[in-house]
Structure 1
Amino acid sequence: MKRSLFITGLGGFVGQHIQSRLMLDDSAWELLPAASPYDLTKPQSLVDLWPQLPDAVIHLAGQTFVPEAFRDPARTFEINLLGTLNLLQALKARGFNGPFLYVSSGDVYGQVDEAALPITEQQPPCPRNPYAVSKLSAEHLCLQWGLSEDWPVLVARPFNHIGTGQKDSFVIASAARQISRIRQGLQGPQLEVGDIDVTRDFLDVDDVISAYFALLEKGLPGQVYNICSGHEQSIRSLIEQLADLAGIELQLVQDPARMRRADQRRVRGSHQRLARTTGWTPQISTQQSLRAILSDWEQRVKQE
């Protein structure tokens, strides 16, 4: 018999992929829909949210865009920290005490010395933007809640993820959109980019989701888990691979508006704890991801 799963943030990039996954007959979980629209920053909207108690919860919802967090840190904290508190209190009032997976971010580690790569969960977090501070604060809240309320709480720290359906405010989605526009003759062969000579640990969104489900099944309560590929790739190399897949020549033009503050030059995580505990390993290659992203943007650009 399938177990019921409540997920916040279903309208987002990852949430939509999870919905597609749960539609498959072989999933061990079924989605428990909210009884009514809700806003995590409005506690009253959460009171009658669950027609029945879910067996588990994945808390995905949040303000995830770093430039927006710099622009309005108070709102970012209201959503990411106080919204999480409101959700925990509403679940407690309803009598929930099942597995609760809080989706944080690898961004909480902040600046990590290159000698300390790959980044393990033992690396002391040192967040360098309001978004990362809000996520780390919510991590502590959830772990404290697990101890105080005797809930099996787990924290996931996913690193950069890519995949179909992502907003073009994210770097690989932005590049794929522009390359699709160039290929379709809608813009010249100049690609506007930020700082692309940094490396990041990219993972396909479907591998990220597989990790979430592996943690619900086998994760140890009270633990924090990195979700990452274990490899670093430069943004430049991924853009060049996209251009090769599209069969186009392009010129990269640096756009000052796309430059981010507090950027780290290299990022590479370790997923050894996750692999040891659950047996999870990445299954989707970068080339597979990029092909799917490019194909997705080809269709989206046609509809713009």
Structure 2
Amino acid sequence: MHELSGRRVLVTGASGFVGRHLMGAAAFAGVEFATLQNVDIRDRSALQAEVASIRPDHVIHLAAQSFVPRSFEDPAGTLEINLMGTLHLLQALDSVGFSGRFLYVSSGDVYGAVHESQLPVTEQHPPAPRNPYAVSKLSAELLCLQWHRSNSLDVVVARPFNHVGPGQDAAFVVPALAAQVVAIARGQRAPLIRAGDIDVTRDFTDVRDIVVGYARLLVSGTSGRTYQLCSGAERSVRGILERLLALKAVDAEIEQDPSKFRPAEQRRMVADNTLVSRDTGWLPAIPWEKTLQDIIEEMESRT
């Protein structure tokens, strides 16, 4: 986007799944990216020195502990990274007189359990986190918006829902299933898919569409506002698995493992993207079939 060309944008968490897609996206053509070099955001003094050397025009704060099961195992560590790390970043930016836009990347998981009668969920729905990860993200949202109100910081909050695509860690559901499908297609394992609870639905969006949304929010989002980034389509994990199997022409038995079922699981989820579309013009553009095909192809290239 030409409005960002020539601007120095600090991307935290740049080496992660989303960060790698973001820094290669055409929507950020001409941007001078800066990243944190071997700096842990939990280390306030090191972070402050790094920010002072970068002096960014804008910030996209992606860095987080984002794996929900891990947040149950280590809630303190999750809060330390996601909440205190965000505080340290805000303090570091304040110390160098930062006056640009701060895009905080939260999560649609902050809503917790949403009754089916209230779907699709909108930004007006009251958050009710049901895991430590979501608590940490909502807390950091509130912190950023407090800085907007108290320190006149130009903050926009993004609440992306599930995003998938090539390069995602195989600990997450879609690449985990794709890896099994690829192994079966190659004859490397018996035709048996082991999965958790696949009869839940989620609002999945291609990560390459999500990062375009971040570019649009950086340019056109309204300061102090929270935006959902989502497809608006409800897809079941079972349906995704069936499509992955079909793409490789594989037949397999499905075995659900109760040990992989999450505590406090939301059965259905779909969200509304009206607000972000109205304010920035963003809507997902990549066909879902292409997303799944690209995940399969990337998984094949890994092994």
Matches within 5 A, 1:62-211: 62-211=64-213
Counterpart in 2 of 1:45? 46
Provide the TM-score with structure 1 as the length reference.
0.95
Compare 55-64 and 147-156 and name the one that shifted more: 147-156
1:90-111 deviation line (CA, Å, top 9, x unaligned): 1111111210000000000000
CA distance in 2 between counterparts of 1:251 and 1:186 reads 15
Provide the TM-score with structure 2 as the length reference.
0.96
8 Å contact 1:120–1:270 — kept in the other structure? yes
Deviation, 1:232, is: 0.2
1:291 aligns with 2:290: no
Deviation, 1:57, is: 0.2
Deviation, 1:65, is: 0.8
8 Å contact 2:48–2:89 — kept in the other structure? no
Q: Given the alignment, which residue of 25, 30, 33 partners 1:31?
A: 33
Indicate the SS of the match to 1:47. helix
CA distance in 2 between counterparts of 1:224 and 1:25 reads 21
Deviation, 1:264, is: 1.0
8 Å contact 1:109–1:124 — kept in the other structure? yes
1:247-286 deviation line (CA, Å, top 9, x unaligned): 1111111112211111111101001000000011110111
Q: Given the alignment, which residue of 239, 242, 245 partners 1:243?
A: 245
8 Å contact 1:97–1:150 — kept in the other structure? no
1:161-206 deviation line (CA, Å, top 9, x unaligned): 0100101111101000111111111111101011101110000001
8 Å contact 1:37–1:45 — kept in the other structure? no
Compared CA separation, residues 26 and 272, structure 1 to 2 (3 A): closer
Matches within 5 A, 1:218-229: 218-229=220-231
1:14 aligns with 2:18: yes
CA distance in 2 between counterparts of 1:12 and 1:84 reads 17
Deviation, 1:52, is: 3.7
CA distance in 2 between counterparts of 1:33 and 1:221 reads 24
Counterpart in 1 of 2:234? 232
Indicate the SS of the match to 2:143. helix
CA distance in 1 between counterparts of 2:146 and 2:99 reads 14
The percentage of counterpart residues that share the same residue type is: 48
Indicate the SS of the match to 2:197. coil
Deviation, 1:28, is: 4.3
Deviation, 1:26, is: 7.1
Matches within 5 A, 1:264-303: 264-300=266-302, 302=303
| Structure 1 alignment gaps of length 5 or more | none
1:17-57 deviation line (CA, Å, top 9, x unaligned): 11222xx59714221244x4200111121122143421100
Q: Given the alignment, which residue of 55, 61, 68 partners 2:57?
A: 55
Size of the aligned set, in residue pairs, is 298
- Superposed CA RMSD: 1.2
